[in-house]
């Protein structure tokens, strides 16, 4: 390399390291209705990325947006796109990746968590931990991912803060360490005590909550000194002081090491709708959430963020243009600077991949981007050759470990409606399997003609049906199976388990794993009790 080229490469890598350091890439994990859309809006609003609530990403907004990408998407009025929202906050770039919930919950929802460095666990103050939050948390825990907890809707009647902390610690073994503390009982919320000052100044900062007239508008935040607050808030103030003292005694104080290891979780209280306590969450993301770190390749070697470009596909979006079988690949950048037009190498095939058509994804808007850095998500168009988990890189070969497949909970037998289209049927199923749209299982008993499709969410079946009919011209019929659980087993155990009633063993085509499908957890318990010597391992998340 010439000296000039050397210098250019060096300054490029310094730039990538600096840009990586100011990025925070995260997702919100929550149960439907906890307030994810509202919080997303509030974060964007607070960061001044948008001028009025509802302009980006909100539910009301989402309803109004009809994507022409997919007939199905239009028909159902839901968004299948897992969007990445960029929020510029002071000097930090926050990349918020959407985890689709409700009806669009699917394996992609879990995969998004493989593309973030941190999660915000959003809880409804009245409900605490709910099923979908628990499933998503399982994925975070498996990755030892740092989790920040935000208890939302504190403006409404809810549970006691200490009770919520106890639930989190007891049920999921995550130790909450409050960064602020509510003053006033649930439903009579007065404001938040800032505990981040530490030591003597802890509790000194009090932000008073005053509901602004008109509901959704931003609440008024008023900073009040400790003496004045003590005089004005009376009993509510003293109770909060006592609770905060107790927090110190039980050791519920922020600890960086255990947070980064996914063992403790900074806890914040607030209310997204009136935009109260949202600024504290932004500050926490900036101060405590980790910036993109070196990613380990398949050999376990960590690739520095300033190394030449590398990234991994974590989601595929199909059906933008029926005629062209177009596909979009969402890539999380792990290292280096990305420039639109770069020719990268596609790890799986070793072939060049041109990136002339690249977009950044901001809510429902897509805009063309020219440069991106570690932590950012780019969407590559015309990406028919790519699959979930594929690595793209610049320069010498890089291979990242595949994204794991997650525990399916929905199962259906697929058959070609028209036996004469069997070849297209086989090709389509194989393609959708390799893209990670659905998991494909088969067994000698059922035969190759009748593969079992396994999904995390039922939406995946709809995507398969739609694409098989539209793209592969091989319409399918699906017969849903009465199973809701899968367990990993071994060739030695398979015959015994397969012979049991209410269970069946099939092989996953992508990796050859043997999965036992079971009707429900009660049946599983009986089987486990009666066959203690059999291997029946849970799969990741939900299992």
- Is 390 assigned to a binding site? no
* Beta carbon nearer to ligand G4P, 104 or 433: 104
- CA 374 to each of CA 110, 152, 466: distance values in angstroms, whole numbers, following the listed order: 21, 30, 34
Min dist CB 125 to ligand G4P, Å, is 8
- CA 284 to each of CA 2, 15, 44: distance values in angstroms, whole numbers, following the listed order: 44, 25, 15
- CA 122 to each of CA 16, 182, 270, 508: distance values in angstroms, whole numbers, following the listed order: 31, 16, 10, 34
Give the count of alpha carbons within 13 A of 41, CB side only: 24
Min dist CB 506 to ligand G4P, Å, is 34
Q: What is residue 167's three-state secondary structure?
A: helix
* Beta carbon nearer to ligand G4P, 215 or 396: 215
Alpha helix ranges (H) inside 418-477: 422-435, 459-470
- Is 101 assigned to a binding site? yes
Residue 339, token pair as written in the block: 């420039």
- Is 102 assigned to a binding site? yes
How many Å apart are CA 278 and CA 441, to the nearest integer?
45
* Beta carbon nearer to ligand G4P, 112 or 247: 112
* Beta carbon nearer to ligand G4P, 85 or 514: 85
Min dist CB 41 to ligand G4P, Å, is 8
Min dist CB 31 to ligand G4P, Å, is 7
Binding site for ligand G4P (CB under 6 A): 30, 32-38, 59-60, 152-153, 155-156, 271-273
Angle formed by the axes of helices 459-470 and 422-435, nearest 10°: 130
CB crowding 435-449: b at 16 or more within 10 Å, else e? bbbbbbbbbeeeeee
**DSSP state, residue 271:** B
**Would strands 485-489 and 537-538 be described as parallel, antiparallel, or unpaired?**
antiparallel
Min dist CB 152 to ligand G4P, Å, is 5
* Beta carbon nearer to ligand G4P, 215 or 300: 215
| 224 closest CA partner among 186, 184, 190 | 190
Min dist CB 40 to ligand G4P, Å, is 8
Give the count of alpha carbons within 13 A of 142, CB side only: 21
Min dist CB 115 to ligand G4P, Å, is 20
**Length in residues, the chain:** 543
Q: Do 478 and 462 contact (CB within 8 A), yes or no? A: no
Q: What is residue 470's three-state secondary structure?
A: helix
* Beta carbon nearer to ligand G4P, 73 or 390: 73
- CA 369 to each of CA 339, 376, 489, 519, 521: distance values in angstroms, whole numbers, following the listed order: 8, 11, 46, 48, 47
| 122 closest CA partner among 244, 32, 253 | 32
* Beta carbon nearer to ligand G4P, 155 or 409: 155
* Beta carbon nearer to ligand G4P, 272 or 518: 272
| 372 closest CA partner among 403, 425, 330, 424 | 330
Min dist CB 521 to ligand G4P, Å, is 26
Min dist CB 264 to ligand G4P, Å, is 24
* Beta carbon nearer to ligand G4P, 33 or 255: 33
* Beta carbon nearer to ligand G4P, 155 or 297: 155
- The gap between the terminal CA atoms of the chain, to the nearest Å, is 52
Phi, psi values for residue 437, rounded to 5°? -70, -35
Min dist CB 33 to ligand G4P, Å, is 4
Phi, psi values for residue 468, rounded to 5°? -60, -40
Proportion of the chain in helix, strand, coil states, percent, rounded to 5: 30, 30, 40
Output the known binding site for GTP: 98-102
Output the known binding site: 98-102
């Amino acid at each position: 390399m010439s000296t000039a080229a050397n210098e250019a490469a060096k300054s490029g890598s310094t730039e990538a390291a600096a840009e990586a350091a100011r990025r925070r890439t995260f997702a919100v994990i929550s149960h439907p209705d906890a307030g994810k859309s509202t919080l997303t809006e509030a974060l964007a609003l607070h960061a001044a990325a948008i001028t009025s609530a509802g302009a980006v990403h909100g539910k009301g907004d989402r309803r109004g947006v009809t994507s022409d990408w997919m007939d199905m998407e239009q028909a159902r009025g839901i968004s299948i796109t897992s969007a990445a929202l960029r929020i510029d906050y002071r000097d930090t770039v926050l990349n918020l990746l959407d985890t689709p919930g409700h009806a669009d919950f699917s394996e992609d929802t879990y995969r998004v968590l493989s593309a973030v460095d941190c999660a915000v666990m959003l809880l409804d103050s009245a409900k605490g931990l709910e099923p979908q939050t628990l499933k998503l948390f399982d994925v975070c825990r498996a990755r030892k991912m740092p989790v920040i907890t935000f208890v939302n809707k504190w403006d409404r009647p809810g549970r006691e803060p200490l009770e919520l902390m106890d639930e989190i610690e007891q049920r999921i073994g995550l130790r909450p360490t409050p960064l602020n503390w509510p003053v006033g009982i649930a439903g009579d919320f007065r404001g938040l005590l800032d505990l981040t000052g530490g030591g003597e100044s802890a509790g000194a900062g009090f932000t008073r909550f005053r509901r602004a007239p008109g509901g959704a508008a931003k609440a008024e935040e008023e900073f009040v000194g400790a003496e004045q607050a003590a005089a004005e808030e009376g009993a509510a103030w003293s109770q909060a002081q006592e609770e905060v003292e107790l927090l110190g005694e039980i050791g519920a104080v922020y600890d960086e090491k255990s947070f980064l290891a996914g063992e403790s979780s900074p806890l914040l209280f607030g209310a997204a709708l009136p935009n109260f306590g949202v600024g504290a969450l932004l500050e926490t993301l900036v101060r405590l959430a980790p910036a993109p770190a070196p990613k380990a390749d398949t050999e376990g070697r960590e690739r520095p963020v300033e190394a030449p470009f590398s990234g991994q596909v974590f989601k595929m979006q199909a059906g933008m243009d029926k005629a062209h079988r177009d596909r979009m690949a969402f890539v999380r950048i792990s290292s280096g600077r990305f420039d639109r037009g770069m020719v990268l190498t596609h790890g799986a095939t070793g072939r060049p991949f041109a990136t002339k058509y690249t977009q950044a994804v901001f809510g429902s808007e897509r805009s063309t981007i020219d440069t991106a850095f570690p932590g950012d998500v780019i969407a590559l168009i015309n990406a028919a050759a790519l699959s979930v988990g594929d690595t793209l890189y610049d320069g010498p070969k890089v291979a990242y470990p595949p994204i794991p497949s997650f525990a399916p909970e929905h199962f259906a037998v697929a058959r070609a409606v028209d036996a004469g289209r069997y070849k297209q049927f086989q090709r389509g199923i194989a393609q959708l399997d390799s893209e990670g749209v659905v998991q494909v299982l088969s067994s000698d008993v059922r035969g190759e003609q009748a593969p079992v499709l396994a999904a995390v969410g039922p939406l995946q079946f709809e995507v398969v049906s739609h694409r098989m009919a539209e793209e592969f011209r091989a319409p399918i019929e699906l017969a849903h199976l009465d199973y809701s659980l899968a367990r990993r087993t071994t060739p030695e155990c398979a015959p015994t388990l397969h012979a049991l009633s209410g269970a069946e063993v099939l092989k996953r085509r992508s990796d050859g794993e043997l999965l036992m499908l079971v009707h429900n957890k009660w049946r599983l318990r009986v089987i486990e009790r009666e066959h203690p010597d059999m291997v029946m391992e849970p799969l990741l998340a939900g299992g």
